[in-house]
Amino acid sequence: MRSIIQTEKLGFHYPRQERLIFENLNISIKEGEMVGILGSNGSGKSTLLKHFNALIRPKKGAVLIDEKWNTKDPETWLDIRQLVGLVFQNPENQIVSTIVEEDIAFALENLGLPREEIKKRVNEVLKIVNMYEYRKRPPYQLSGGQKQRIGIASILAMRPKGIIFDEATSMLDPKGRKDILKIIHELNQKYGVTVLMTTHLLDEVASVDRIIVLNKGRIRFDDKPEIVFENREELEAMGLSIPTVTKLALDLKAEGYLTDSKKLILTKEEFVQAIQKDIGVRA
């Protein structure tokens, strides 16, 4: 399968730092994958992700996008940024215009697309993020989650193959968070967009295809959630955690319950099922 992002022995440090933030990272993200990136504060997640749309360039090794563009080559940057979009934590910082639809059209105008095409794309992406009714509104009237959806729409309008969500839900209220997560999953499943996301809310990455854990400048895990979350103690030692239901199930197991369920539990539904089964066995 085609790899949309590939790093080869990637190493980086900021100016005037002696030590590398990370080194020797070999990561390959395949087209259509949904990947969670975990790491404690300061572990280098944002720095790594900025390499993927050429906002930052390697100090060592290389980053290859779509198997053809090396981020070291400035001529590729425009193409790379259309191919891989980046959504940040704070929705306030991503909106520039005074009317929602203009904000989305803005980036497209810079691409020099014909007016008709721009209009078509703007409407299309606003519908995908469920914000079509808000197209004439000024952004300041929107909630945080709605602003974040507009940010996502602006990126979608570029028809990217991949979108990186760097803690995109961490400032949102519960509804805003749910809406964004739903859209992220839909983009991946329905539209085949490759998704990379970081979060500190472990429940949000229970259902991704793969989790990469960064620790002390290295990749400590790169595997399916049910395998990564087996390592509770180690994750906790590095400042991370596991999803609440997973923790609850493990704690119950430790006290002699749920002995029948072998697989790691990752969702509320699986948890309830396991409890009902345990009740059945006991009754």
Partner 1 sequence: MNLLKIENIQYSYGKNTPFEKEVLKNISLEVNANDFIGVIGHTGSGKSTLIKICNGLLKPDKGQIFYKGENIWKKGFDLKHLRFKVGVSFQYPEHQLFCETVKKDIAYGLVNKGVPEEEQESKIRQVLKIVGLQESYLEKSPFKLSGGEMRKVALAGTMVLEPEVLILDEPTAGLDPKTTKQVYESLKEYQAKTSSSIIVVSHSMEDISEYATRLIALDDGNILLRGTPAQVFSNTERLNDMSLDVPITTSILSMLAQKNPSVNTNIYRYNDTKAEIIRLLKDVKSIE
What is the contact surface with ligand ADP in residues (CB under 6 A)?
A: 14, 21, 39, 41-47, 140
- 15-54 footprint of partner 1 as x/- string (CB under 8 A): ------------------------xxxx---x--------
Contact 63, 38 (CB under 8 A): no
3/40 with CB nearer partner 1:
40
Contact 66, 4 (CB under 8 A): yes
Q: Interaction with partner 1 in 73-132: which residues (CB under 8 A)?
A: 89-90
Assess 252 for contact with partner 1 (CB under 8 A). yes
DSSP state of 264: P
Cα 33 to Cα 63, 94, 205, 207, 225, distances in angstroms: 18, 25, 13, 12, 13
Neighbour tally for 83: CB within 10 Å: 21
Choose from Mg ion, ligand ADP, partner 1, none: what does 255 bind? Cβ within 5-8 Å by kind.
partner 1
Q: Are strands 3-12 and 22-30 parallel, antiparallel or unpaired?
A: antiparallel
123/244 with CB nearer partner 1:
244
Per-residue three-class SS string for 75-132: HHHHHHHHHEEEECCCHHHHCCCCCHHHHHHHHHHHHCCCHHHHHHHHHHHHHHCCCH
Assess 261 for contact with Mg ion (CB under 5 A). no
> Nearest distance from residue 59's CB to ligand ADP, in Å?
13
> Nearest distance from residue 130's CB to partner 1, in Å?
14
Residue among 7, 46, 94, 154 that touches Mg ion (CB under 5 A)? 46
Contact 79, 69 (CB under 8 A): yes
Site for Mg ion, rule CB under 5 A: 45-46
Site for partner 1, rule CB under 8 A: 14, 39-42, 46, 89-90, 143-145, 167, 170-178, 200-203, 236, 239-241, 244-245, 247-248, 251-252, 255, 257, 268-269, 271-272, 275-276, 278-279, 282-283
